[in-house]
Structure 1
Amino acid sequence: MLDKILYNTILCQTFSPCGKYLVAGNIYGQLAVFDLDRILNPVIELLTSDYNKPKQIHKIESGKQICSLITTDSFLIIGTINEITGWDWKAVTSGKWSKPAWTITIPVKSSMEQSDVNSLWLSEDEIKLFAGCGDNNIYAFNLEDGRLVTTYEGHSDYIHSIHGKSQQLISAGEDGLVLLWDERTGKSHSRLEPHANSKVSRPDIGKWVGAATLGDDWIVCGGGPRLSLWHLRSLDPVTAFDIADHGVHVAFFHDDCIVAGGASKHLYQLSYSGEVRVELPVSATTVYSAAMKTNPKVLAIAGSSSEIDLCTTFNYRDQVLHFR
């Protein structure tokens, strides 16, 4: 029988609120829970050969792929296909895994329609949960009662990425658009089309945009088009990054640099002007997720592999975790 785990793909990761656990979700509906205390601060006398494997592996009842993860103080929130579920953190980490504490159903038009919840984002006050979906829409739900508050319509193909800051939302899609939205009204007020810009266009890879993130004054985005930095107010491109990738799936700001990865042998840390500060080798052939926390420092890198690279300095790989 074919061992599916050899062809594992990890699409998403998040940390527990206490920072002691890393959680990763894969395409087989499995959720791996890693005990970071045991991995990063081992007691040598008690160390076993499986120390870098999951403490728990849970299985989503539907078996649908886990597309996105996000956390609140109380819940691990999982985006799959056509639904979002919230799981009590105690159940996740203790192994008492049974049923979700709550479920939100994506408003698809028919039971036959499959809408992946590709990206999740929480409002800064943690009242609203945003979901970027495979039916081209972004949905905002009230976390108190699961009620659909707003539907953001503007993309013509499925959404890869959403991110928010200061009551603005940014989304990136397969249609090649990066849209800026007013979080309160649900209306798009600005748009970028990176594939239409000669500095960043890569027609051989495609027009899709896999990641877009808001900073205080900047937007970073990439996909088929090159990773690029844009001025938020003028929407002018400032830097086109020259990195060896065949598509970008991860891009975000950290301190005074940009972290980015995708179909490449490395995860990059870049200055705003384009200088490569760190070129970090990765286990995955394509990076789909890079989860970071800063106290204490941990960077977890995952993608088309059963291995997760763990870094505590952000400059080199300390450990390799095994999702198996």
Structure 2
Amino acid sequence: MGPVELLHMSVFSQSFSPCGRFLAAGNNYGEIAVFSHPFTKPLCFFVFVCQDNSLVVGGGDNNIHVMDLENGVFKTVLQGHSDYVHCVTVREREAEILSGGEDGAVRVWGECVFQVCARPQYGKWISCVTTDSDWMLCGGGPSLSLWHLRSLSPTSIFNLSGCQRQSTFHQDLILTVGDGAFVSHCLLGGEVKTQIPCTPQSLNTLQLNNNSTEHRVLTVGGSSDRIDVFTNLSYRAFSLRF
């Protein structure tokens, strides 16, 4: 890949393997690199969200596809979004798939409407959705917000500038990235506790490796060919490169 392509590269998605020893990341050129610990160079290319030996994929055809990894066959297609699917996650305890899309819907497979969090200047699209038991985080065009899934009501709305593209729960914190060169650490009540600098000037994706105590790290990617690695949540330790 030439210097011009590297200059315009963005990392859009990441996922750790179930064993915690591999990190897969995808960029805007359709490449997916797989790094092995101690994170040296790419091994191969693919994209996945793993749940019970299944692959869950969403994208430009507005549908969610579920593949059986044992035989490599797509076994289910979930149809309901009316526009591009930006994000997919799994509510493990209930084995439910959640997805968010350009159409502004979050599907649990049902639909939630987030007018209370709307920001017309950014649009209605949902770029991030994640769950922790009975709780859900979602945001994008609407403000990042914490929702109680049983009542489908917001409990906290986070005062963060720009669009948030991926978020995750971590102990008593919420970690989130989006517009801006930093990872925001937020309290569950809605307060922004701190913001940690990163290499890319705009961020698309973050992943916490909770599958391995030996290789427990946070990785962050965005508008750069670099993926920042945090061995401590308070500072960036080093960066990977495509």
**Given the alignment of the two structures, is residue 303 of structure 1 paired with residue 222 of structure 2, yes or no?**
yes
**Given the alignment of the two structures, is residue 4 of structure 1 paired with residue 5 of structure 2, yes or no?**
yes
Counterpart in 2 of 1:139?
A: 65
CA contact (8 A) 2:35 2:43 kept: no
TM-score by length of 2: 0.87
Helix, strand or coil: the match of 1:291? strand
Structure 2: gaps of 5 or more residues: none
Distance (Å, rounded) in 2 between the aligned partners of 1:159 and 1:24: 18
Q: Which residues of 2 match residues 264-303 of structure 1 at below 5 A?
A: 264-294=180-210, 295-296=213-214, 297-303=216-222
Q: Which residues of 2 match residues 1-324 of structure 1 at below 5 A?
A: 3-15=4-16, 19-34=20-35, 36-37=37-38, 54-56=40-42, 78-79=46-47, 120-123=48-51, 125-126=52-53, 128-165=54-91, 166-181=94-109, 190-194=110-114, 196-197=115-116, 200-244=117-161, 246-294=162-210, 295-296=213-214, 297-323=216-242
Number of equivalent positions: 236
CA contact (8 A) 1:219 1:231 kept: yes
Distance (Å, rounded) in 2 between the aligned partners of 1:17 and 1:5: 30
Specify whether residues 270 and 20 from structure 1 end up closer, same or farther in structure 2 by C-alpha distance, changes over 3 A only.
same
Specify whether residues 167 and 289 from structure 1 end up closer, same or farther in structure 2 by C-alpha distance, changes over 3 A only.
same
Over the residues paired in the alignment, what is the CA RMSD in angstroms? 2.2
Runs of 4+ that moved beyond 6 A: none
Distance (Å, rounded) in 2 between the aligned partners of 1:287 and 1:137: 25
TM-score by length of 1: 0.66
- Which is higher, the Rg of structure 1 or of structure 2? 1
Distance (Å, rounded) in 2 between the aligned partners of 1:145 and 1:172: 28
Task: Give the AA of the match of 1:304.
Answer: S
CA contact (8 A) 2:130 2:138 kept: yes
Structure 1: gaps of 5 or more residues: 40-53, 61-77, 80-119, 182-189
